[in-house]
Amino acid sequence: MSFNPNDVDLDTADPTEIICYLNKSENDYNGQLGARISAIFVIFAVSTAVTFFPVVAKRVPRLHIPLYVYLFARYFGAGVIIATAFIHLLDPAYSEIGPQSCVGMTGNWADYSWCPAIVLTSLMCIFLLDFGAERYVEVKYGVCREDPEPIMTSAVDNSTVDKESPGNTRKGEADVEELSTSDTLIEKSFKQQIAAFLILEFGVIFHSVIIGLNLGVTGDEFATLYPVLVFHQSFEGLGIGARMSAIPFRKGSWLPWILCSLYGLTTPISIAIGLGVRTTYNSGSYTANVVSGVLDAISAGILIYTGLVELLARDFLFDPHRSQDNKRLAFMVITMLWGAGIMALLGKWA
């Protein structure tokens, strides 16, 4: 017997049927095609420009961008990433596949709280990847973590070197000097950081695909969602660019520019796809909720780990070269909190 919303006995009705009926939606597209097409170009131009800014500030010294402008971009972006994880990913994931959602009350989804399980699994996978990359670099380059600051060591054991002749000792010292060249240090630092960054961008791109599709097909909310998403994508782009600017890419490398462009293109392409299916795609359907909820949960785990470990902990707690200037530190912290606060506020609309 099918659910009849006009004849419901709340004492005997199945709560799942009620929730699924209340969450049910149809295609909301209501025209405004010109404005939606403009969103493709506006979001691409603004988000790409903002994403490029921290990278340009760091890699093009002749522009003479003030230090505090760069610090603002970097730590405002860090706050944005953290707020995105909790407000723009974790909360929607619970709304889509959480225990109080239609999906979460149906079938095998009702047997376990899958949303936090997916977030936890994602977070642990990112930790293992990050740890594996870190350990690989340690083994390959001989980083000695017992020392207060990691140093480059030769492949020869120190006790063995002490027993060798002076000639062999000098050879060992030469090996140390060779390993300690600038290129080696840059390569070591690059390999430690690039894996974590690619994971971060992967998580943000997942999120950008979903919101791009929704902007292409949303109904009456479009007028509000459009400007909000311009800011939303710009702030996320600032976070991506700020994180990328800290990675020591080789001089002349095209990779940072390619990665910035990839982020800038993701949402516009998703909007274009959404416009292509604007009369048939239903963002509130059961299948759409499952796909969106799982992707949001995965991305939330990625960004929670990256934001708290790679950005906050690494920059503020474990960086041996962190500034000792209290004024600069206060500026960095306040900027980070400001970024998190503004991005959290945007969660009211998008």
Quick check: is 265 in a domain?
Answer: yes
| Distance (Å) of CA 139 to CA 185, 191, 192, 243 | 14, 12, 12, 25
Please work out, in degrees rounded to the nearest 5, the angle formed at the alpha carbon of residue 249 by the alpha carbons of 246 and 253: 140
Quick check: is 11 in a domain?
Answer: no
Please work out, in degrees rounded to the nearest 5, the angle formed at the alpha carbon of residue 40 by the alpha carbons of 36 and 45: 140
As a whole number, mean pLDDT of residues 314-333 equals 88
pLDDT given for residue 3 in this prediction? 65
pLDDT in tens, 2-44: 666 667 666 777 788 788 877 777 777 887 888 999 999 999 9
Please work out, in degrees rounded to the nearest 5, the angle formed at the alpha carbon of residue 94 by the alpha carbons of 91 and 209: 70
DSSP 148: S
As a whole number, mean pLDDT of residues 324-335 equals 93
Quick check: is 154 in a domain?
Answer: no
Quick check: is 22 in a domain?
Answer: no
As a dihedral over the C-alpha atoms of residue 180, residue 182, residue 188, residue 191, rounded to 10 degrees, the angle is -170
Q: Are 94 and 8 in contact (CB under 8 A)?
A: no
Q: Are 270 and 208 in contact (CB under 8 A)?
A: yes
Quick check: is 150 in a domain?
Answer: no
Residue spans of beta strands (DSSP E) within the chain: 143-144, 151-152
Helix/strand/coil for 13: coil
Q: In angstroms, rounded to a whole number, what is the distance separating the alpha carbons of residues 172 and 175?
A: 5
Quick check: is 324 in a domain?
Answer: yes
pLDDT in tens, 92-143: 999 999 998 999 999 899 999 999 999 999 999 999 988 888 888 778 766 6
pLDDT in tens, 276-315: 888 888 888 888 899 999 999 999 999 999 899 988 898 8
Characterise 238 by phi-psi region: left (phi > 0), alpha (psi -120 to 50), beta (else): alpha
Quick check: is 220 in a domain?
Answer: yes
Q: Which residues constitute the domain of residue 228?
A: 39-141+177-346
Residue 158's pLDDT band, with cuts at 50, 70 and 90, is very low
Quick check: is 161 in a domain?
Answer: no
pLDDT given for residue 218 in this prediction? 84
Q: How many domains does the chain have?
A: 1
